[in-house]
Structure 1
Amino acid sequence: MKKITLILFLLFFSFNSYAQFTQGFETGIDNGWTIINDGDANGWVQNTSPSGGAIEGDAVASISYSSSAHDDYLITPPIAVSVGSNELLSFYVKSRSSTFLESYEVLLSTTDALEASSFTEILQASSDAPNSWTPLEFDLSSYAGQTVYVAVRATGTDEWQLFVDNVISYPAPSCPDPTDLAVSSITASSASLAWTPGGTETAWEYVVQAAGTGEPTGDGTATTANPISLSGLTSGTDYEIYLRAVCDPLNSSSWVSTTFTTQCDTFTAPYSQDFEN
């Protein structure tokens, strides 16, 4: 028989939706969260001693195996989506064992959290949760102006345990980080760097320095080119390169980085070395 557990004050929350929130399940599956159990007898519960620990604190949301298939929904409070306020939703998932990976999917409802049939939109198709904490992020900006509910639906059969932790609703960064930094055409004294812009920015800053120097504390070299050519490098040297987007003079992204090593110098025969020095 279908069992619906409305965790806390459903009547109140049916008329109230959230902007930003963080849920680490330290005090239970509460604050407007909903559980629908359409499968086996086991459902989503708070677990205060998950194998391998939580992302933060002690507790996670957890569901344990059964010989019957899961069909269990862990559902967020209503989210009133507003661009610049809470268009991103992220959380972590994990299977307890690499031998028994738990399958799950992420669904969305634009109507209610009362019926499983309301979750008609797929944010992530069914997949197995890895055996290490894996971050997921979903862009809800296409639902701006609507109130939505997001569900993690457990679908595994006779595996072990599936964990969810640190669910956060938050705004997208105003100046997103560049991604996919790639160094190519490496020689003894030069290289090329390309990347994927984080948004619509057309200006960046970069710093090339010896590996291990760490994140820059000042400005970098400005550029509007992508890719860029790096020259004047030392042969056989480990480098790190930091890059950030400049969306306007007062708004830059975080620094992102990658590393590379220049080639060694080549010598034309005949060549001699007496090692006197």
Structure 2
Amino acid sequence: GPFQVELDLAIMQFASSINAGTLGSDDQVQLLITSDGGTTWTPLLLWDSTSVIPVGGEHFVYDLTAYSGSIVQFGIWASEGTVDDTADNDISVDNFEVRAIPSCPEPTAVAVSNFPPDGAEISWTENGSATIWNI
């Protein structure tokens, strides 16, 4: 340790691959954790009607340092709530991973463009204070 949990989440309109969805007024999706074999569950991440997730989904990371030394289980819980809104969505979770927290922040928004015969242009967003990178 210490560890973190990572996942990608997408909320899309039902049967659509091009239109982002919006959860109904009392709809929720939660990432839960338990350290007592499932007797009690604690929400780590919560998505509801205020959550704006882009069409391609979004990557989420949660620091698990508070659970160091514990045996844990995870759950994904979703509820349509009691209000029957018109919202009808597909929820996708992908790339679920528990891993050691990296020693330095990883770059995001990595993009590759301009492919001449002998190279390419690579750009990214630096999320720490690095001034030298190994590519």
| Inter-CA distance 177–160: structure 2 relative to 1 (3 Å threshold) | closer
Aligned partner of 1:94 in structure 2 is 10
Name segments (4+ residues, structure 1) moved above 4 Å. none
Once residues 137 and 170 of structure 1 are traced to their aligned partners in structure 2, the CA distance between those partners, rounded to angstroms, is 10
Once residues 60 and 68 of structure 2 are traced to their aligned partners in structure 1, the CA distance between those partners, rounded to angstroms, is 20
Once residues 71 and 100 of structure 2 are traced to their aligned partners in structure 1, the CA distance between those partners, rounded to angstroms, is 15
Confirm or deny that 1:135 pairs with 2:59. yes
Once residues 104 and 35 of structure 2 are traced to their aligned partners in structure 1, the CA distance between those partners, rounded to angstroms, is 29
Confirm or deny that 1:244 pairs with 2:130. yes
Aligned partner (choices 170, 173, 176) of residue 105 of structure 2: 176
Deviation at 1:147, TM superposition (A): 0.8
| Inter-CA distance 178–101: structure 2 relative to 1 (3 Å threshold) | closer
| Inter-CA distance 124–214: structure 2 relative to 1 (3 Å threshold) | closer
Number of residue pairs matched? 101
Higher Rg of the two aligned structures: 1
Aligned partner (choices 111, 115, 118) of residue 40 of structure 2: 118
Once residues 103 and 30 of structure 2 are traced to their aligned partners in structure 1, the CA distance between those partners, rounded to angstroms, is 29
Once residues 78 and 29 of structure 2 are traced to their aligned partners in structure 1, the CA distance between those partners, rounded to angstroms, is 4
Deviation at 1:107, TM superposition (A): 1.8
Structure 1 letter corresponding to 2:66: S
Once residues 129 and 96 of structure 1 are traced to their aligned partners in structure 2, the CA distance between those partners, rounded to angstroms, is 11
Could you give the per-residue CA deviations for residues 9-36 of structure 1, whole angstroms, max 9, x where no partner exists? xxxxxxxxxxxxxxxxxxxxxxxxxxxx
* CA RMSD of superposed structures (Å): 3.1
Once residues 93 and 145 of structure 1 are traced to their aligned partners in structure 2, the CA distance between those partners, rounded to angstroms, is 27
TM-score normalised by L of structure 2: 0.58
TM-score normalised by L of structure 1: 0.31
1:19-168 pair list within 5 angstroms? 82-83=1-2, 87-97=3-13, 98=19, 100-102=21-23, 103-113=28-38, 118-119=40-41, 121-127=42-48, 128=51, 130=53, 131-156=55-80, 159-168=88-97
Which protein, 1 or 2, shows the higher relative CO under an 8 Å CA cutoff with sep ≥ 6? Answer: 2
- For the residue of structure 2 that corresponds to 1:142, the secondary structure is helix
Could you give the per-residue CA deviations for residues 90-138 of structure 1, whole angstroms, max 9, x where no partner exists? 011111225642431222111124xxx621x221234346243110111
Structure 2 letter corresponding to 1:134: E
Structure 2 letter corresponding to 1:162: I
Contact 1:177/1:244 (<8 A) preserved: no
Once residues 91 and 52 of structure 2 are traced to their aligned partners in structure 1, the CA distance between those partners, rounded to angstroms, is 8
Structure 2 letter corresponding to 1:109: T
Unaligned stretches of 5+ in structure 2?
A: 14-18, 82-86, 109-120, 124-128
Once residues 59 and 70 of structure 2 are traced to their aligned partners in structure 1, the CA distance between those partners, rounded to angstroms, is 25
Could you give the per-residue CA deviations for residues 217-259 of structure 1, whole angstroms, max 9, x where no partner exists? xxxxxxxxxxxxxxxxxxxxxxxxxx516xxxxxx7x58xxxx
